[in-house]
Amino acid sequence: MICAGQLLNEFPRIKRAITRYVFAGLFIPLLIKRGRNSDALKTMKELKNTKNSGRLIIVAYRLPFKIVREDDQSHLVQNSGGLVSAVLSLVSDQEDSVFSSEEKIQWIGFSENTKEELEGQSLANESFQAHPVFIPDDVNENYYEGFCNNLVWPLCHYFPSLARFDDAYFEAYKTANQLFFDKLDEVIQPGDVVWVQDYQLMLLPDLIRQKYPDNKIGFFFHIPFPSYELFRMFPVKWRKAIVDGILGADVVGFHTNDYVEYFLKAARLVSGYGNKLHYINMSNRIVKVDSFPISIDFQKFNEAYDEPEVIRAREEARESLKEKIIFSVDRLDYSKGILHRLQGFTRFLEQHPEWHERVSFVMVVVPSRDTIEQYQHMKMEIDQTVGAINANYGNIYWQPIIYQYRSMTYHELVGMYTASDVALITPVRDGMNLVCKEYVASRKDSQGVLILSEMAGAAAELGEALIINPLDNQGIADAISEAFAMIPEEQEKRMSAMRERIRDYDVFAWTNDFFTQMLMLEQEHERLKQVFLTNKGIDNIRKAYEASSKRILFFDYDGTLAPIVADPSKAIVSEDVKKLIMEIAKRDTVVIISGRDRRFLDTHFRDLPVHIIAEHGALIKTKGSEEWTLNESYEENWKDSIKPILNMYAKRCPGAFVEEKETSLAWHYRTADDKEYASRRAQELSWQLKNFIQPELNLQIIDGNKVVEVKKTAFNKGTAARSFVDGSDYDFILAIGDDTTDEDMFEALPDTSYTIKIGDDLSAARNHIKNQEEVFHFLSFMVSTIPE
């Protein structure tokens, strides 16, 4: 969990956001995750004044309906999946719902029917309007079977040996994403909110952003986002397209914090986007990347316990099966760990003859992708293993495993959930896994034991389950034995705790949580949005300047007083600017505030009556003094442990070099031979430093312009600027800067200050001006009416 102190130190840029939203902001999603569903709804209500003016558009690979034709008419037969109910919950007449029910939810998805079959049909029901996307067979094969299922799926589930790399796959992936976009392009209107689902559509958010910069876009990734070592197996262009494609969204959601971290690392290493507290600054907008553990409709499964069909199914199972029932159900997939489960069960039978003839393991495998060779092979192995176990351990009165290769009806499924003593869920990798949550929700009787793989995203939330490693046969065997021996009171204790958690964070809370983040982001955008100074704005500043009597002005150096040039030693302040500063400094307090070292700043400003702050606030030389003062909280003895790391990166990157300043270390790559390679190394270096240096060192890593800089956190431009204004009575404060480190200054100065950011990056500054050249004109105008 995030601690507030850490936030304030490390993320000064959003410090004001934290203050403003301390309850309504960053902490609310955490409250929602812990609190009750009704709290989540209340939060939405508090955050919104009005309903979203636009409609909700879902884009997912599949449409959530079957299109059934009867008497030349098409009807939508709606699936009862969790996502469908969840999005429906966002739309109602209630004041606190996100969307108005006057508008249907627009759902864009692939259609298995041809265009001709659907020609002229109205594809709508009470709540949804369907917009089928038609993908030619050859494209769909390379796109869906190829890129999605033969490459992304195995890589994301840590089966790189099964991944197939084929240029035609990626081409088809781009074509298909474009086809989804083309359909959306026909449908979208201003104000509509688009929610893109899953790994089949990773390029889509950016396609939308390019043409519709003002529509809100969400993206949710349903499978594991892999660690960088796996992700880097995608060819460079592909991985960049994926990261940039996803980052077209405003809010990007994953199931767990691990997946979020892995994605953030990929965003940094692939496209150079750093993040602060999961916010990525994309220069003209911010993206929020966060975890939203998907859930289920708890009440539906809970109430099903008493439905007659479920009672009948449960009773039949109990009558016809043995004393102890183990149940598992999953799609045929190598990620689900079906064979490992069988091996674990074999070990159990081997070691526990006392349970022979007293246990039935009902294992249902739902047909899936079985046209693919790998899946056919896996199916054969499962068939053979089940056959062998039943042959070796069973007898004419007892079959240890009841194996079904088919799908079950909903009532059969819940009948089995509620009849079984143990749910055995052993994926070797699973984004979340809803089956285990459904099992828990169905157990209104608070009985039954969940054995769950630590590789399922759900394991992070269901700590009361018996957590196993699916590759550890003995671990599975021991867990089964422990489950069979577990007394009802203990079962109840564990099950009740898990049920409460899922009841609180059900699929409705999940969607609410996601949309709360979308709204929060809108407010944050509003705060950070660039307001460029108009003539009127400039004139207002001039008037304020004129009307004041005690003024202080802070100027950053590079990119503010001097232009950014390739060779830093040649970034020289022009004579005109110098003259102007001289003129201002005669009547006002002027502070030059820079990351440069004192020698450089002395050379350029020695003859001016100004205060100088060097090395981001570590060193200060006051006007008229010859002495520099070192910030009192600066502590030495940290560079020796960091310098070798920077040197090693410099050696491995021709042209990069390490600069040792008095109070900081900088790894420069402006002069590197291969800029692209160097920028990748810089990202890796920064990542390594941020993640592996000891927190006790209190160091801050700054990703600057072609430089990675390491300094103490104890001071920054903000603390340095405050030391000038605190306790004084300036009635006009102005600060101008272009760099990320200037944000500390903008944040730290009083709200009445005039803060100006150069360029269009999102900033805490109140105003922006376009470029460095304009600084001179702006300042000249500001002081123009004051007599010398």
- Contact residues toward ligand GDG (CB under 6 A) are 222-223, 294, 329, 331, 366, 407-408, 410, 413, 430-435, 438
Three-point CA angle 350, 352, 358, nearest 5°: 110
- Buried b / exposed e over 204-229, threshold 16 CB at 10 Å, is bbbbbbeebeebbbbbbbbbbbbebe
Query: Are 506 and 37 in contact, with CB atoms under 8 Å apart?
Result: yes
Nearer to ligand GDG, 222 or 240 (CB): 222
**Minimal distance in Å, beta carbon 435 to ligand GDG?**
4
Q: Is 548 left (phi over 0), alpha (psi -120 to 50) or beta?
A: beta
Q: DSSP per residue over 17-63, as a string?
A: HHHHTTTTSTHHHHHHHHS-HHHHHHHHHHH-SS-BSS-EEEEEEE-
Query: Are 555 and 738 in contact, with CB atoms under 8 Å apart?
Result: no
Q: Is 556 among the residues known to form the active site?
A: yes
Query: Are 454 and 258 in contact, with CB atoms under 8 Å apart?
Result: no
**Minimal distance in Å, beta carbon 109 to ligand GDG?**
15
Nearer to ligand GDG, 328 or 589 (CB): 328
- Buried b / exposed e over 420-450, threshold 16 CB at 10 Å, is bbbbbbbbbbbbbbbbbbbbbbbbeebebbb
**Minimal distance in Å, beta carbon 329 to ligand GDG?**
5
**Minimal distance in Å, beta carbon 79 to ligand GDG?**
10
Closest by CA position to 279, among listed 580, 25, 654: 25
Strands of 449-453's sheet, edge to edge? Answer: 401-405, 359-366, 324-331, 422-425, 449-453, 466-468
**Minimal distance in Å, beta carbon 209 to ligand GDG?**
24
3-state secondary structure of 390: helix
- Return d(Cα 400, Cα 356) in angstroms, integer: 8
- Return d(Cα 242, Cα 237) in angstroms, integer: 9
Nearer to ligand GDG, 222 or 690 (CB): 222
**Minimal distance in Å, beta carbon 360 to ligand GDG?**
18
Query: Are 577 and 776 in contact, with CB atoms under 8 Å apart?
Result: yes
Cα-atom radius of gyration of the chain, to the nearest Å?
31
Question: What stretches of 631-674 show up as alpha helix (H) in DSSP?
Answer: 639-651
- Buried b / exposed e over 645-665, threshold 16 CB at 10 Å, is bbeebbeebeebebeebebbb
What torsion, rounded to 10 degrees, do the Cα atoms 7, 12, 17, 22 define? 30
| Tokens encoding 472 | 């550890």
Nearer to ligand GDG, 334 or 724 (CB): 334
Q: How far is CA 701 from the centre of its chain?
A: 22
- Return d(Cα 767, Cα 528) in angstroms, integer: 10
Nearer to ligand GDG, 363 or 577 (CB): 363
Q: How far is CA 753 from the centre of its chain?
A: 34
Closest by CA position to 774, among listed 600, 529, 612, 534: 534
| Secondary structure (H, E, C), 121-154 | CCCECCCEEEEEECCCHHHHHHHHHHHHHHHHHH
- Return d(Cα 340, Cα 476) in angstroms, integer: 9
**Minimal distance in Å, beta carbon 222 to ligand GDG?**
4
Q: How far is CA 462 from the centre of its chain?
A: 22
Query: Are 248 and 281 in contact, with CB atoms under 8 Å apart?
Result: no
Nearer to ligand GDG, 279 or 505 (CB): 505
**Minimal distance in Å, beta carbon 205 to ligand GDG?**
18
Nearer to ligand GDG, 430 or 709 (CB): 430
Nearer to ligand GDG, 426 or 755 (CB): 426
DSSP 533: P
Nearer to ligand GDG, 405 or 657 (CB): 405
**Minimal distance in Å, beta carbon 750 to ligand GDG?**
47
- Residue 125: C-alpha distances to residues 75, 93, 511, 715 (Å): 8, 18, 22, 61
Nearer to ligand GDG, 179 or 459 (CB): 459
Catalytic member of 297, 504, 506, 556: 556
Nearer to ligand GDG, 453 or 594 (CB): 453
Q: Which residues have a catalytic role annotated?
A: 556
